[in-house]
């Protein structure tokens, strides 16, 4: 059963007639504070109210006859607040990293991780998306670069960099890769630190490093990228203010602080969702007359599917959950970007003024910075994070090694790199992905690593953008409904991964000591001058705390791949074997793009909305 728009309006009119003030939420979409205000059924019920959910919910409620409910575990929160709400989980001990555990940080608010992230705004290599499409025999819906590019344009409203900054720092861009319609903004700070000059120039001295005109062009090389913020107030632009606030949509409901416990299936049809409100242990259900849309993120979506009886039978059996649909891929194929710790300082950068320390130490500069911000939101405080980096292919940072590594990826025993009892379809999917990555290794257009620079500090911690290991997110057999799923990155389980990470350290050193940057007095504090050979660097990385298994970009756990390759959703994002159930969050990425994942999530979500609307 679904309810029409007119009966909703009637209910609101009746409430007003009873003398209630019209709640603020009427002018936005509708915030549901009490379970008794829910409709008994909605066309679409979203599990999770984060980045992907609010994007899709906005687009499908453009039709006033479609009713949507978003259930979000976190609160409505102000992202400008000092510490927005986070899920803070802990990983399982990492075998490849001396048994250490690592924090898992995720947004836990309406708007999800888009409300807490660093606002870095990238989309990665065109070839990353082409690899998604090639995993299927037929790519009828265009899950490839050409097919997703229109949705990047739809997703983001681009403002060019301010003229003086663009000229001063030689920032290039090409607006044809961007759009101008969305309420979600990509914009630029009005200030950059001049210490970037020698750092950017030194990129050009490195062999094989090319300039790419725009971060949205799908290339690999050095490029500038805008920030996920609006161009006037320089405030965070994210799913909440772009895709929920100020929409006059009585058919778009959100209930915050409502945590979904499990899905309810009739046979193999998803028909309702069971949830709890914040201060109560009571269980409530709400029906989805058309579809349930999973958008709880790559860590929580697989958990909810598994406790609902959709997942690998072995995992479900161990936890005492009855299997309704035996779907081996749920929670597998888990990936994140891998960070490494390098620390090379440059005395010479601190002689270039102003720099990031002048905000602290030079009262004149600090006053100017404050005044600029207060006057017209300009100056250093309009900077969110860095806006330039080298996004490099292996052909640039490991020119003498990539061919051997590509061959290794093609010929290695893929089953031996996954846990012993891994389902054969998961092994087949892993093998297909490694074949795809081998081809990408030989291309100068696929980003494998990010080398970010800060005008004060020099190169900051590099990121591996194409991980080679695959982990898992499974329910805890001792407490399947409990908060914490078992999150195992399995970092370094593919031996190629460590070799690439070692090469990234060596590249940062060549960049710092063998270009004109050597004139700025580089000092190697980490790994340190005593760490020289490949073996020593590897040892520093593995045992010296030189690796972070996450850059906050969990993905792949409900991947869009054929069932024979261990996939969980097809190209319409429907879960195999279940009716009326789709997934739209970062979990559907078969493999990570060479970019931070927020913009890719928005692009995917825009495409998902069209797929859902067309009812394929
Ligand atoms: C600290 C941090 C920094 C980051 N920095 C960047 C960056 O600078 N640039 C970039 O591109 N990307 C960045 N990312 C990554 C990016 O923000 C995410 O990949 C993206 O937002 C994920 O979107 P999603 O829709 O998959 O999930 P999310 O946006 O995380 O949404 C999932 C939502 O589901 C809710 N939820 C979970 N379980 C339940 C349940 N049981 N019931 C109801 N609701 C539930 C969560 O509370 C959350 O709101 C960062 C992420 C983090 C955490
Ligand atoms: C400015 O950028 C262009 C295009 O990317 C590049 O060719 C040129 O060398 C750059 N100039 C400077 C001074 O960095
Ligand atoms: C839940 O409890 C917290 C703290 O006890 C309180 O601040 C909050 O208002 C309550 N929320 C609801 C919806 O009752
Ligand atoms: C680099 O090392 C110095 C000295 O130990 C330390 O103060 C600084 O915080 C480090 N920087 C980074 C980015 O780790
Ligand atoms: C670079 O680092 C300095 C020192 O930590 C900091 O003040 C500054 O904001 C950073 N710059 C950017 C663009 O993030
Ligand atoms: C402090 O900053 C001002 C403004 O940027 C600059 O003119 C001045 O030279 C700086 N003083 C010192 C001691 O660096």
What does the pLDDT look like over 277-307, one tens digit per residue?
Answer: 987 889 999 999 999 999 999 999 999 999 9
| Nearest protein CA to atom 8 of ligand 5, as residue | 356
Does position 341 have pLDDT exceeding 90, yes or no?
Answer: yes
Nearest residue to 573 via CA among 57, 143, 73: 143
Q: How far apart are CA 190 and CA 373, in angstroms?
A: 10
Q: What are phi and psi of 525, to 5 degrees?
A: -90, -30
DSSP category for residue 498: H
Does position 7 have pLDDT exceeding 80, yes or no?
Answer: no
Nearest residue to 111 via CA among 300, 268, 264, 239: 239
Q: How far is the CA of 380 from the centre of ligand 6 (A)?
A: 14
pLDDT in tens, 65-81: 999 999 999 999 998 88
pLDDT at 158: 98
Beta strands 157-158 and 185-186, pairing class: parallel
| Nearest protein CA to atom 10 of ligand 3, as residue | 279
pLDDT-derived band of residue 483, with 50, 70 and 90 as boundaries? low
pLDDT at 28: 63
pLDDT-derived band of residue 571, with 50, 70 and 90 as boundaries? very high
**Residue carrying structure tokens 């929160």:** 77
Q: How far apart are CA 166 and CA 27, in angstroms?
A: 39
| Nearest protein CA to atom 9 of ligand 5, as residue | 356
pTM equals 0.94
Q: How far apart are CA 489 and CA 142, in angstroms?
A: 30
**Residue carrying structure tokens 């991980």:** 467
Q: How far is the CA of 279 from the centre of ligand 3 (A)?
A: 6
pLDDT at 81: 84
Q: How far apart are CA 86 and CA 589, in angstroms?
A: 23
Q: Is the CB of 168 under 6 A from ligand 2?
A: no
- Mark residue 469 as left, alpha or beta (left: phi above 0; alpha: psi -120 to 50; beta: remaining): beta
pLDDT in tens, 234-292: 999 999 999 999 998 999 999 999 999 999 999 999 999 999 998 788 999 999 999 99
Angle, helix 402-411 to helix 424-441, in steps of 10 degrees: 160
pLDDT at 35: 94
Q: How many CB atoms lie within 10 A of CB 180?
A: 10
pLDDT at 84: 87
pLDDT at 11: 37
Does position 4 have pLDDT exceeding 90, yes or no?
Answer: no
Q: How far apart are CA 209 and CA 169, in angstroms?
A: 18
pLDDT in tens, 488-541: 999 999 999 999 999 999 999 999 999 999 999 999 999 999 999 999 999 999
Q: How far apart are CA 235 and CA 241, in angstroms?
A: 10
pLDDT in tens, 406-441: 999 999 999 999 999 999 999 999 999 999 999 999
The residue whose CB lies within 8 Å of the most ligand 6 atoms, and thus the one to mutate among 351, 359, 360, 364, is: 364
Q: What is the mean pLDDT of residues 118-134?
A: 98
Percentage of the residues of the chain whose pLDDT score is greater than 70: 95
**Strand, helix or coil for residue 106:** strand
Q: How far apart are CA 11 and CA 14, in angstroms?
A: 5
Q: What is the mean pLDDT of residues 608-614?
A: 97
Does position 10 have pLDDT exceeding 60, yes or no?
Answer: no
Does position 595 have pLDDT exceeding 50, yes or no?
Answer: yes
Considering every ligand atom, which ligand is closest to the CA of 210?
2
The residue whose CB lies within 8 Å of the most ligand 5 atoms, and thus the one to mutate among 193, 346, 379, is: 193
| Nearest protein CA to atom 9 of ligand 3, as residue | 279
Angle at the Cα of 368 from the Cα atoms of 365 and 369, rounded to 5 degrees: 85
pLDDT in tens, 166-189: 999 999 999 999 999 999 999 999
Q: What are phi and psi of 272, to 5 degrees?
A: -160, 170
The distance of Cα 166 from the centroid of its chain, to the nearest Å, equals 28
The residue whose CB lies within 8 Å of the most ligand 1 atoms, and thus the one to mutate among 49, 50, 594, is: 50
């Amino acid at each position: 059963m679904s309810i029409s728009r007119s009966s909703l309006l009637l209910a609101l009119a009746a409430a007003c007639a009873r003398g209630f003030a019209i709640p603020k939420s009427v002018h936005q979409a509708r915030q549901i504070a009490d379970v008794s205000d829910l409709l008994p059924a909605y066309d679409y019920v979203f599990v999770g109210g984060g980045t992907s959910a609010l994007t899709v919910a906005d687009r499908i409620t453009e039709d006033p006859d479609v009713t949507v409910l978003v259930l979000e575990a976190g609160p409505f929160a102000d992202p400008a607040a000092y510490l927005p709400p986070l899920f803070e989980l802990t990983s399982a001990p990492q075998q490849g990293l001396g048994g250490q555990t690592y924090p898992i940080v995720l947004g836990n608010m309406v708007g999800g991780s888009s409300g807490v992230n660093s606002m870095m705004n990238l989309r990665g290599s065109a070839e990353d998306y082409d690899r998604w499409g090639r995993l299927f025999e037929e790519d009828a819906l265009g899950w490839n670069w050409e097919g997703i590019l229109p949705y990047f344009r739809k997703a983001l409203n681009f403002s060019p960099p301010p003229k003086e900054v663009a000229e001063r720092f030689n920032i290039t861009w090409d607006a044809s890769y961007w759009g101008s319609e969305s309420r979600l903004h990509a914009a630029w700070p009005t200030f950059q630190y001049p210490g970037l000059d020698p750092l950017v120039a030194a990129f050009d001295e490195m062999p094989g490093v090319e300039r790419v005109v725009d971060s949205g062009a799908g290339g690999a090389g050095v490029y500038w990228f805008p920030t996920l913020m609006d161009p006037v107030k320089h405030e965070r632009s994210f799913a909440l203010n772009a895709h929920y606030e100020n929409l006059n949509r009585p058919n778009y409901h959100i209930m915050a602080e409502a945590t979904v416990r499990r899905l309810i299936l009739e046979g193999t049809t998803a028909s309702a969702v069971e949830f709890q409100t914040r201060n109560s242990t009571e269980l409530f259900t709400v029906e989805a007359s058309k579809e349930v849309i999973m958008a709880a993120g790559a860590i929580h979506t697989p958990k909810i599917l598994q406790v609902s009886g959709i997942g690998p039978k072995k995992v479900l059996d161990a936890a005492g959950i009855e299997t309704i649909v035996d779907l081996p891929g749920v929670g597998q194929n888990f990936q994140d970007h891998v960070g490494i710790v390098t620390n090379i300082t440059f005395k010479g950068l601190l002689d270039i003024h102003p720099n990031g320390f002048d905000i602290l130490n030079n009262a004149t500069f600090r006053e100017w910075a404050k005044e600029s911000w207060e006057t017209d939101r300009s100056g250093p405080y309009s900077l969110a994070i860095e806006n330039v980096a080298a996004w490099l292919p292996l052909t640039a940072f490991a020119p003498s090694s990539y061919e051997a590594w590509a061959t290794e990826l093609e010929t290695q025993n893929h089953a031996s790199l996954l846990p012993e009892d891994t389902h054969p379809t998961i092994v087949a999917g892993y093998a297909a992905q490694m074949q795809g990555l081998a081809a990408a290794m030989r291309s100068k257009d696929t980003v494998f690593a990010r080398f970010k620079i800060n005008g004060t500090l020099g190169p900051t911690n590099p990121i591996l953008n194409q991980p080679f290991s695959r982990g898992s997110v499974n329910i805890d057999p001792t407490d399947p409904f409990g908060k914490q799923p078992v999150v195992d990155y399995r970092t370094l389980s593919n031996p190629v991964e460590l070799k690439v990470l070692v090469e990234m350290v060596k590249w940062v050193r060549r960049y710092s000591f063998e270009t004109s940057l050597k004139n700025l007095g580089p000092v190697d504090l980490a790994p340190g001058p005593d760490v020289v050979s490949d073996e020593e660097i590897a040892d520093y990385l593995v045992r010296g705390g030189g690796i972070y298994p996450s850059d906050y970009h969990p993905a792949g756990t409900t991947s869009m791949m054929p069932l024979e390759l261990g996939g969980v959703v097809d190209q319409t994002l429907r879960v195999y074997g279940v009716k009326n159930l789709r997934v739209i969050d970062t979990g559907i990425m078969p493999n990570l793009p060479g970019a931070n994942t927020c913009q890719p999530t928005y692009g995917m979500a825009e495409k998902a909305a069209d797929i859902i609307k067309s009812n394929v």
